[in-house]
Amino acid sequence: MKRVFVILLILLIIQPVIVYAKDSMPQNYVHSKCMKCHEDYKNTNDIVAGNFYSRSNKAKSITVNTGKRMIVIKFTDKTQVVNAPGIRALKRPVPVRVHFKKVGPDFVADKVVVKPRMKVPKEQLMNTKELEALVALGPEKGKYTLVDSRPGIKYEAGHIPGAISIPFPKMKKLKNRLPKDKNRLLIFYCEGFR
């Protein structure tokens, strides 16, 4: 009997906590991975951001894994879904941002925004050997600008020599760091995309 108790206790510790609307919850709950690129979520009320975990058609609810908690949110026929054909098309672990409102004891989704798949045309991709050859020449001789679009903390931890830091969420604000010469080769790199 002790073994079963210990195993159950361990499972309870490992499993994220499930949160329902009646529980006390901040106005937003955002996975730490989301915050690396979306710092503005910190000041956005009534959102949950993380990975879609599950859906119950009978209960008309979805569960979002925010890393530390599993948040249960109801959906209705009026719930708008962006970047996917509908709630039924969501598959684990696609990143989502859910805008909700509290209705009685429930959180009800107004909008579910699915992180879009990123598609880069093949002719715009560069392999590592091509990049390695340019880096060996240097930005001036190679006539390129290399942009590290990862979060600043990742750039500080290490980056490709000659790269400048322009984190993706700050691109519009920091576009002045890009070269004025429109003929100069611009190379962006990140941690990859799904």
- pLDDT values of the chain reduced to their tens digit, one per residue, 194 residues: 444 444 444 444 444 545 545 455 445 678 777 766 676 677 788 889 999 999 999 999 999 999 888 999 999 999 999 999 999 999 998 999 999 999 988 999 999 999 887 788 888 888 989 999 999 999 999 999 999 988 888 899 999 999 999 988 788 888 888 888 888 999 988 876 54
Whole-number pLDDT of residue 73: 95
Whole-number pLDDT of residue 26: 47
pTM: 0.61
Amino acid (1-letter code) at residue 146:
L
Alpha carbon of residue 129 to chain centroid: 29
The domains of the chain, with CATH numbers, are 17-114 (2.40.50.320), 122-189 (3.40.250.10)
Dihedral angle of Cα 168, 120, 94, 50, to the nearest 10 degrees: 0
Exposure string over 129-166, b if 16+ CB within 10 A, otherwise e: eebeebbeeebeebebbbbbbbbeebbeeeeeeebebb
Q: Which helix (H) or strand (E) element contains residue 145?
A: strand 144-148
Residue 136 and residue 127 in contact, taking contact as beta carbons nearer than 8 Å: no
Residue 145 and residue 163 in contact, taking contact as beta carbons nearer than 8 Å: no
Query: How far apart (Å, rounded) are the C-alpha atoms in residues 152 and 150?
Result: 6
Amino acid (1-letter code) at residue 162:
G
